[in-house]
Amino acid sequence: MTHIRHAATAAALVLTTVTAGAQTTVITREPVQTQTVVTTQPLQLTPVQRQRIYTTVTRQQVAPATATVEYRVGMRVPESAQLYTLPEDVVVDVPTVRSYRYMTVNNRVWLVDPGTSEIVAEVVN
């Protein structure tokens, strides 16, 4: 009977040692790099503001951009795109566009955030 108790005690010690070893295993992982993406929200303009911008900008003597890409709000313009400063009278009438630049493509005026190169508004006649 003593022999069985010793065997049971030895088995319990072995199981405790194995369990304790498993509990002390430490797994480390490299921290996950997160990337913050900032997107520009589409610019909200009234029909009157859009007409004012379009009429004034299309009277400017600027070279239209080539239409090798189909532009849309939210996309980034290529680095090669020529962006122009909005005329002062447009900025006075529509102050929310002060920080943007523009380009013209196919009789459309595209307002671009120069910090992100994203199109924030399309202005058509």
Quick check: pTM over 0.85?
Answer: no
Q: Which CATH superfamily is domain 47-124 in?
A: inner membrane protein cigr (3.10.450.160)
What is d(CA 21, CA 66) in angstroms, rounded to the nearest whole number? 69
Q: What are the domain boundaries of the chain? A: 47-124
Task: Evaluate if residue 72 carries a pLDDT over 60.
Answer: yes
pLDDT in tens, 30-44: 555 544 444 446 688
Higher pLDDT, 119 or 67: 119
What is d(CA 107, CA 100) in angstroms, rounded to the nearest whole number? 19
Task: Evaluate if residue 51 carries a pLDDT over 90.
Answer: yes
SS3 124: strand
